[in-house]
Structure formats: C-alpha cells, structure tokens
Structure 1
C-alpha cells in the first residue's frame, strides 16, 4: 500500500472519529450508535462485553442518563490494516470519566461510509461530578537534593528555582489542584548522582510531596518512558501541565516536547527552572543562560512561558 493511500485512509478514519466525538458532545447519542455496524462488538472494561448494535445501544442510552460531555481524544494513533480497515487507539477524557481506547476498528462499508466494527476501551476513573476546574496539574521535575547546594551535581540556580516552585505548590495545594512529583533515580550502582536509596536522590524539603501527591519514579530523561506519568494524567483527566524543576536542557525540555506531542498544553515557569554551568567547545554557559536558551527553544511550539508572579496573578 503506497503512502498516498495510507494517508487517505488515515484521514478518513480521523474524520469519522472526529464526527463521532462531535455528535457525542452534542448529545446525539443515537447518531453515535448508528456509526456501529449491526454485528459490532464493544468491550468496556470493567463493565463487560456487548455484542450486536442492540446491546451497544442499550449501554450508550443508559450511559447518556449521566449527562456525559466534553469528550476529548488525545495521543491518537491510527494503524491502517488494509484499504478497508484501520485501528484507532487513544487516551480519552470527558466531564465525568477518563481512560484508554485500546482498539477502535473502523471498517469501510458498502455505502462508502466508515463504521465501528469493534470498540474496546477502558474506564480508568469515574467522577460523581464534573472535574472541569481541575484539569491543570503542577509537575515538579527532579527537585532533588543532589541538585542543591552541597549536592553531588549542584546546579546554578536551584535554590531560587525551588523558592518559586514552592509558591506555586502552595497555591495548588490551597486550591486542591493536582500536583505530580517526578523523581529521577539512576539504576547504575556507580551513578554520579541520584543514586537510589541516597539522601541526594530524595526530593528537597521545601517542595516535599504530601502523602496524597503522586511521586513518579523515572530512569530516563523523558518522563513518559517506562513510567506511570501518562496513566496518572489520564486518570486525573488533565489537559494542562504547569512545569517547574530541572534540568532545563534535559528533563524539562524533553517533558514539554513529549507532552505536547501527546496533546497536552504546557506552561513553563521561567524563574522556577534550574540548569548547571556547562561548557561546549570554546563556549561557556551559566545556568541562567541555559535556562534562557531552552525556554526560547520551547517557546516555538513546545510551551507557553511565564514567571511565577505572572502565573499566580492570572490564576487567582
């Protein structure tokens, strides 16, 4: 199958899926039901399997009584199987629930329209009331002792960055908004810093997590690789990330790029980001210069940039 055909099929499936979402959000439940083939099957974890469009209709009509809305698909992937079938997977969230779509099998029918033949999705979280005012999470990246004064890899401005981060942390806690802590642990026994079971790897006291705030362990620069970050964001129904921490040129930069690629919006707090002094060939950079350069890079399609004072004024 040539690339043009692949692109065409992918676009058709994206359009069919987008129309289904639009109908759902407008309350057109029967229209959504009509997009299933008569012999379609739907697996809803943990609620069971529904075979035939009649059983699927019963599920959606009953579910509609809970007034679902604001359905959004994120991190969409489409795999084309042949010229008449393609599989869509994604994360999803709505006003009262969120989860993963493992498989939407879209099939081209004889009438030239695309229909759902198989639908397999998981409900990770359900809410008794809409959570639309809690879709922004503060993500604190690697604010660990080794990056601070006296640590094994001291950065240029971690103390001041943590001071600003602690102000934002206090605001999020007061408003009961989601807070996520990233903690980097190197798996190598001879790691230069952030060795497991050391004081240097612990999160610094001024931004220490409370018992109800998730701490996500990572071993890579990318916070999404082999971690529970994406599942946590899906469970919480998060749309927007407010990012603070370190290091600007590594984990902060990579987190923003990966998050944006997955469909999240990012805001980076410029005075709550730290970096080390570094040299490259004949060039020497201060931590402040590295922060500025990386924020400039992120401002091109990676994140919105603001400072602590500005963010707090806009989000009283």
Structure 2
C-alpha cells in the first residue's frame, strides 16, 4: 500500500507581488496548493514545507531573516508540520528530506510549488530517481517568463513545457480538482 506525503516547494514571499523575483500568477497557484494542503491536513497525511534560502549573501532573493524568504501566508506551516530549509533547487540536495520520507515509510510524493521550471522540476526528477511515485499538481505551481537567444518564452509556455516533459517518465501531472476528486 502506498503512503503519500505532500511536498510544498518554496511558496515564499519573494515570488509574489513586490518580491525579488515575481512569478506569473503566484497567488492563484498558492491558493490551489492550499486546497491540497487542507486535504492532507484533513486526512492526517504528512506535509513537508520546503523553504529556499540563499547561501550567497550577494543574491537578492531568499535572504535569510527577510520577509521575502518567509513562507507565504496562504500556505503557512502549522505547528508540527515539517519544514526543511534548502540552498539548491533540488529539495533533496544536502537536506534531510530523503531521510524524513524514508523514516515515515513514504512511497509516493505529491508536489506543489514554485518555480515549475527549476525547483519543482529538479525535485520531482530526483524523487523519481530515488524510487518515489510522483504526482505534480500543475495548477498549484507557478513559473515566470524566461529568455534565450534574445527571445522571451512566456511563463505559461515554460510551465506547460516542463509539466509535459515530466509526464513522459517522472510524474503524473494533475490539476487540483482532478487530484481532490480521485
């Protein structure tokens, strides 16, 4: 029997309006993530909140101790919920995430968070490589416009490209409604 845990990645103030690196539609994504969090809370299932902190004091994002580095109020952890601080996009790198999941006999992870193309992607791929079944809640994630060779790739296209790539092998991708009604 599979045992699920929810991983909420980097839904922090710096990604919202007036933050250091505002994403496209972060509020909408955070509210969808909150619905999934509420489901896990109501069903007494483990939730892991991931908080990205900058290891480089010259980086203008996720500076430890700043408002921008705090987890957003829409998804604030409750007393007793696991919070893991990380310094790299992959939530498993140099953290106790793997040990926590293994010690709780978790076999399946459900993933929400910021940024689809970076931390959500790298964490999902690592989780699958480590043997977990993965579900990404696509509308509970957000991205931003990216640029390559002088061309702008719109956030929606970035988001959809990364989610579609994950569906090939790494994860089942669902929206919040699909997940909650399953």
TM-score, normalised via structure 2 length: 0.97
Which residue in the other structure is 1:294 paired with?
162
Q: Distance in 2 between matches of 1:287 and 1:273?
A: 11
Q: Distance in 2 between matches of 1:251 and 1:288?
A: 16
What pairs with 1:32-43 in structure 2 (closer than 5 Å)?
none
Q: Distance in 1 between matches of 2:141 and 2:151?
A: 22
Are 2:72 and 1:209 aligned? no
1:283 offset after TM fit, Å? 2.3
- The partner residue of 1:255 within 103, 120, 123 is 123
1:201 offset after TM fit, Å? 0.2
Are 2:68 and 1:200 aligned? yes
Which residue in the other structure is 1:136 paired with?
4
Q: Considering Cα pairs closer than 8 Å and 6+ residues apart, tell me whether 1 or 2 has the greater RCO.
A: 2
Structure ranking higher in strand proportion: 1
1:282 offset after TM fit, Å? 3.5
Are 2:31 and 1:157 aligned? no
Are 2:173 and 1:305 aligned? yes
Q: Distance in 1 between matches of 2:120 and 2:163?
A: 10
1:149 offset after TM fit, Å? 1.1
User: Aligned residues, how many?
Assistant: 182
Q: Distance in 2 between matches of 1:241 and 1:235?
A: 14
Q: Tell which structure's C-alpha radius of gyration is larger.
A: 1
1:279 offset after TM fit, Å? 1.3
Q: Distance in 1 between matches of 2:37 and 2:91?
A: 19
Q: Distance in 1 between matches of 2:17 and 2:103?
A: 36
Q: Distance in 1 between matches of 2:82 and 2:59?
A: 25
Which residue in the other structure is 2:105 paired with?
237
1:276 offset after TM fit, Å? 1.1
1:157 offset after TM fit, Å? 1.7
After TM superposition, the runs of 4+ consecutive aligned structure 1 residues lying more than 4 A away are: none
Q: Distance in 2 between matches of 1:303 and 1:293?
A: 14
What pairs with 1:109-124 in structure 2 (closer than 5 Å)?
none
1:164 offset after TM fit, Å? 0.3
